[in-house]
């Protein structure tokens, strides 16, 4: 299995089967990812599905030995996924901030 480079500037490559999975999920949730890129997080359910799918896939890969992953370290794989789905960065930060605000409200610190 030959790795496929995500872009000319990427230093990490993904195995073709994993890249195909990411391409399918990117196509399926294109509208949600485009909205997230624009800063609109109203489609949180779709973004949550994408995030969970990626998490499950990374967890599955983490259980494999590095040789089974074609010598690809998990750190490199995680960074490649982050570069492939940059739209999720802002949404993840937004979600964490919302949870933090809710906890602060419950504790009486924020209105």
Question: Which CA distances in Å does 52 have to 11, 75, 107?
Answer: 25, 18, 29
Q: How far apart are CA 28 and CA 33, in angstroms?
A: 10
Q: What is the pTM of this model?
A: 0.73
Encode pLDDT of 29-85 as tens digits. Answer: 999 999 999 989 888 899 999 999 999 999 999 999 988 888 889 999 999 999 999
> What is the domain partition of the chain in residue ranges?
13-106
Q: How far apart are CA 46 and CA 65, in angstroms?
A: 31
Encode pLDDT of 22-43 as tens digits. Answer: 999 999 999 999 999 998 988 8
């Amino acid at each position: 299995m030959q790795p496929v480079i995500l872009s000319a500037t990427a230093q990490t490559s993904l195995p073709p089967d994993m890249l195909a999975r990411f391409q399918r999920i990117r196509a399926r949730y294109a509208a949600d990812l485009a909205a997230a890129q624009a800063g609109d997080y109203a489609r949180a359910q779709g973004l949550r599905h994408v995030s969970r799918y990626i998490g499950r896939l990374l967890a599955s890969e983490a259980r494999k030995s590095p040789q089974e992953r074609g010598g690809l370290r998990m750190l490199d794989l995680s960074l490649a996924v982050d570069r492939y789905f940059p739209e999720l960065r802002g949404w993840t930060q937004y979600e964490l901030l919302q949870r933090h605000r809710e906890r602060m409200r419950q504790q009486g610190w924020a209105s």
